[in-house]
């Protein structure tokens, strides 16, 4: 690919579904690298950065957010049809996000209680990841995603290779940066052993337990960790809660949460 020739620059599109925009902001925050990126790639659609729109099809689409409305459901198929490669970014797009807490409740009841005219609210009763609806070429995890990992995904696309993103746990990142294990040293509950790496063990390096914002690591042994959390005096309900945050609908976390009494159940 001759990146010097502007006519041959691949087109990048960035799409938003149900989300807080934090993952798109990660791309905007790549200040130093954005100029270089703009030389190698044409930013063809990115509503958060520019009003100009270059028509598709697009070589690479980054999709933020989950599917929560009938309109989303239709639009994601249009985005997929217009994209050669589609990468989902963040907990919303890869696992349904914090808005997937609705999956465990009664959405009709919420809308009745919150809105004066719930009949105007067009919403689905579940928040689902993009991969539940269309084929996804790569999923980048995190809430928000990590800047270096995002740049690696874009570089890998430009060089036509798989992104070098490890699916190991946060514990491995702790060891690499020499952070002391907060559970072993202080008895602090931590989801690091079952959480996907990518943040560089940010929370443990500040003496805090990980709360799982990067979602489940590959082959996460959540049963074993839940037993350890109980030994650390966490209540059964808190064990259910701790797996039900940003990645509540990710299968490994949802299944572990369901094994414990639910926060809404009577004692």
Among candidate residues 261, 232, 228, 231, the one with its CA nearest the CA of residue 244: 261
Of residues 10 and 216, the one with the C-beta less far from ligand SF4: 216
Binding mask 105-144 for ligand SF4 (x = CB under 6 A): --------------------------------------xx
| Residue 202 sits in the site that holds ligand SF4 (CB under 6 A) | yes
Among candidate residues 227, 226, 229, 219, the one with its CA nearest the CA of residue 251: 219
Among candidate residues 83, 91, 84, the one with its CA nearest the CA of residue 17: 91
d(CA 107, CA 191): 29
- Parallel, antiparallel, or unpaired for β 58-64 and 11-16? parallel
Candidates 127-135, 148-156, 211-219, 234-242 — which segment interacts with ligand SF4 by CB under 6 A? 211-219
How far, CA to CA in Å, does 157 sit from each of 12, 41, 152?
A: 11, 11, 8
CB of 117 to ligand SF4, least distance (A): 27
Structure tokens at 160: 């036509």
| Residue 179 sits in the site that holds ligand SF4 (CB under 6 A) | no
Of residues 20 and 181, the one with the C-beta less far from ligand SF4: 20
Binding mask 157-176 for ligand SF4 (x = CB under 6 A): -------------x------
Give the CA radius of gyration of the chain: 20
CB within 8 A of 231, min separation 6: which ones?
Answer: none
| Residue 189 sits in the site that holds ligand SF4 (CB under 6 A) | no
Total residues contacting ligand SF4 by CB under 6 A comes to 23
Which one among 14, 62, 91, 154 touches ligand SF4, defined by CB under 6 A? 91
Footprint of ligand SF4 (CB under 6 A): 19-20, 22-23, 64, 90-92, 97, 143-144, 170, 195, 199, 201-204, 210-214
């Amino acid at each position: 690919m001759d990146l010097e020739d502007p006519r041959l620059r691949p087109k990048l599109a960035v799409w938003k579904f149900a989300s807080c925009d934090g993952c798109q902001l990660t791309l905007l925050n790549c200040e130093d690298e954005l100029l270089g990126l703009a030389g190698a790639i044409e930013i063809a659609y990115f509503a958060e950065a520019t009003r100009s729109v270059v028509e598709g099809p697009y070589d690479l689409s980054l999709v933020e957010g989950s599917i929560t409305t009938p309109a989303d459901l239709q639009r994601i198929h249009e985005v997929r049809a217009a994209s050669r490669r589609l990468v989902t970014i963040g907990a919303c797009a890869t696992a349904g996000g914090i808005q997937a807490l609705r999956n465990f409740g009664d959405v009709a009841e919420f809308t009745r209680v919150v809105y004066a005219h719930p009949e105007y609210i067009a919403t689905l009763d579940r928040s689902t990841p993009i991969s539940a609806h269309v084929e996804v070429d790569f999923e980048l995890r995190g809430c928000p995603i990590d800047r270096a990992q995002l740049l690696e995904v874009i570089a890998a696309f430009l060089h036509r290779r798989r992104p070098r993103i490890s699916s190991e746990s946060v514990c491995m990142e702790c060891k690499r940066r020499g952070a002391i294990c907060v559970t072993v040293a202080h008895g602090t509950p931590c989801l690091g052993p079952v959480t996907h790496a990518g943040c560089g063990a940010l929370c443990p390096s500040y003496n805090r337990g990980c709360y799982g914002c990067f979602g489940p690591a590959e082959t996460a042994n959540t049963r074993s960790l839940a037993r350890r959390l109980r030994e650390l005096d966490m209540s059964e309900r808190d064990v259910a809660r701790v797996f039900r945050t940003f990645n509540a609908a990710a299968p490994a976390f949802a299944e572990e949460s369901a094994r414990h009494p639910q926060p809404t159940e009577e004692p």
